[in-house]
Amino acid sequence: MPNDLFDPPALAKDALRIVPLGGVGEIGRNMAVYEFAGKLLIVDCGVLFPEETQPGVDLILPDFSYIRDRLDDVLAVVLTHGHEDHIGAVPYLLRLRNDIPLVGSTLTLALVEAKLKEHRIQPYTLQVREGDREQFGPFNLEFIAVNHSIPDALAVAIRTAAGLVLHTGDFKMDQLPLDGRITDLRAFARLGEEGVDLFLPDSTNADVPGFTPLEKDIGPVIESVIHRSRRRVIVASFSSHVHRVQQVFDAAAANGRHVVLLGRSMVRNMTIAEQLGFLTVPEGLLIDAKKAVDMPDDRLVYMSTGSQGEPMAVLARMANLEHQIEVGEGDTVILASSLIPGNENAVYRVIDGLTRLGAKVVHKGNARVHVSGHAAAGELLYCYNILKPTHVMPVHGEYRHLRANADLAIESGIAPERTIMADNGTVVDLIAGEARIVGQIDIGFVYVDGSTVGEVTDADLKDRRILAEEGFISIIVVVDPATGKIIVGPEIHARGFAEDDEVFDDVKPAIAAALADAAHNGTRDAHQLSQVVRRTVGQWVNKSYRRRPMIVPLVIEA
């Protein structure tokens, strides 16, 4: 994968340029920019969820700086499906230019429109379905049905004078899907006959051998778990996993239980799915949380968010006894989702918390209560053999997933030099059916922190980690700038430092000596004297306690 930054050349005539701004080398914030003849087409615009090393961050966005000065050249944003890692950053892009057309399927656009309504943005949309073809400037787009863990997902074939590109979005090849909508391999074969010059496939499960299990096999397992449960059942899943929610509804109805939806996004998304006909709700099944209080525990199923251990989601709050529903002995919790890389510790912490409260926790590790929405190695090999693409550029995955996908492509007969291992910011040009890396631009993380976007830096996050892990020490001292002699202080206070403030009596003489020595050597500036204090206290703390807390000195000249 490219590491060194180097500027790409000017785009040649009849060349198609592809630049991933997210989703390559990571699971999330999927976004790719296509450029031809001075016009831009964007495929997906998603978010990445923060890890424990990014405290206080709510979301991570793609880095829009590459297109910020060219927003007027953007013809459309194509959204392959309605998951957050593909649509979650759309509101932040439309804040920059709110009339960029959004192109997607019925459910995808309904989900993104609901999200944009919360941001008070009225979008321009074009609804498409499989088989449709649309022209946006020099881009001719064809939409192809693909099966995924959310209904109404689409791959997009992009035709320009430079060649044909197939961008799958997220997909798998479930041959018996719950909604009867399979990945359209006939369309893939037709594109293969036409000649796919560049193939951008989903890589998430490329390192998993064989084939992804069938979604239909999950329903009976969930039904069995609910049937055996003595008290309440709480099922946590992604708030957009319509198929999984449908299976929970069916299992609850079969066992004479009512369902309560918990979490704003869960309620919003399932309401939309029902209104559009993607979710069937048996009469009288859904009840309000307030009404559930008066019902027997063995007649309730709660459908909630929080399957990834998110600290503010419903399930984590239950585990921490911060939710009105108090999980207890005899309750059953089902985690009906896969672990997103980076979330493992948070999820196991929630599992431990729920188990400590007496609940039985059922998850993918001990029962088949979830299957992935991404194609495994066997399915990807089918794609390579059907499409026989000239070039392959694996996307949507961490490095090991991309490498595994590239290796599959090579095994299927694609030349290694035609297998492009890209990174976020890698610039790839397709000219007359030939693709190659021509540049690498700097792509950063854009953090959403409360109401601020892009204001928090990596340095800020480092400070937050130090505060959380090492503590904080403040030193206030008033000095005579001429002599460096201390007039008042030093007053030393600590937070998150597991010692009493009295321990700092040992370092106060060293501070006084260091300030006097600095003044003797001509140091008069208050900022420089503050650095003297910082170094003196830092060295003492490190030597005495093997700690590196944040040290904030304040030297005031009398």
**Domain chopping of the chain, boundaries:** 15-210+372-453, 215-362, 471-557
Contact assessment for residue 11 and residue 17, using Cβ atoms and an 8 Å cutoff: yes
User: Rounded CA gap, 297 and 331, in Å?
Assistant: 9
pLDDT at residue number 294: 86
Homologous superfamily, domain 215-362: Metallo-hydrolase/oxidoreductase (3.40.50.10710)
pLDDT at residue number 138: 97
CB neighbour list of residue 310: distance below 8 Å, 6 or more residues apart: 49, 316, 346
Contact assessment for residue 158 and residue 33, using Cβ atoms and an 8 Å cutoff: no
Q: Which fold has domain 15-210+372-453?
A: Metallo-beta-lactamase; Chain A (3.60.15)
- Crossing angle of helices 106-118/264-275, nearest 10°? 140
Contact assessment for residue 473 and residue 497, using Cβ atoms and an 8 Å cutoff: yes
User: Rounded CA gap, 242 and 181, in Å?
Assistant: 14
pLDDT at residue number 30: 96
- Crossing angle of helices 242-254/264-275, nearest 10°? 90
User: Rounded CA gap, 381 and 72, in Å?
Assistant: 39
pLDDT at residue number 422: 95
User: Rounded CA gap, 12 and 390, in Å?
Assistant: 20
Q: Which fold has domain 471-557?
A: Ubiquitin-like (UB roll) (3.10.20)
pTM for the structure as a whole: 0.83
User: Rounded CA gap, 441 and 6, in Å?
Assistant: 7
Residue written as token pair 């704003």: 264
Q: Which of 19, 51, 48, 47 shows the shortest CA–CA distance to 35?
A: 19
Residue 102, H or E segment: strand 102-104
User: Rounded CA gap, 405 and 25, in Å?
Assistant: 12
pLDDT tens, residue order, the chain (558 aa): 666 778 899 999 999 999 999 999 999 899 999 999 999 999 999 998 776 666 566 778 899 999 999 999 999 999 999 999 999 999 999 999 999 999 999 999 999 999 999 889 999 999 999 999 999 999 999 999 999 999 999 999 999 999 999 999 999 999 999 999 999 999 999 999 999 999 999 999 999 999 999 999 999 999 999 999 999 898 988 888 899 999 999 999 999 999 999 888 899 999 999 999 999 999 999 998 888 888 898 999 999 887 676 666 788 888 888 888 888 898 898 888 776 666 677 788 888 888 888 889 888 778 788 888 999 999 999 999 999 999 999 999 999 999 999 999 999 999 999 999 999 999 999 999 999 999 999 988 887 776 666 566 666 666 666 666 667 788 888 877 777 677 777 888 777 765 666 777 777 888 878 877 777 777 767 778 888 888 888 888 888 777 777 888 888 877
User: Rounded CA gap, 62 and 300, in Å?
Assistant: 40
Contact assessment for residue 398 and residue 27, using Cβ atoms and an 8 Å cutoff: yes
By residue count, the chain amounts to: 558
Query: How far are the Cα atoms of 315, 318, 528 from residue 311, in angstroms, in the given order?
Result: 8, 10, 41
CB neighbour list of residue 277: distance below 8 Å, 6 or more residues apart: none
Same fold flag, 15-210+372-453 and 215-362: no
Q: What is the DSSP letter of 65?
A: G
User: Rounded CA gap, 521 and 527, in Å?
Assistant: 15
User: Rounded CA gap, 101 and 545, in Å?
Assistant: 58
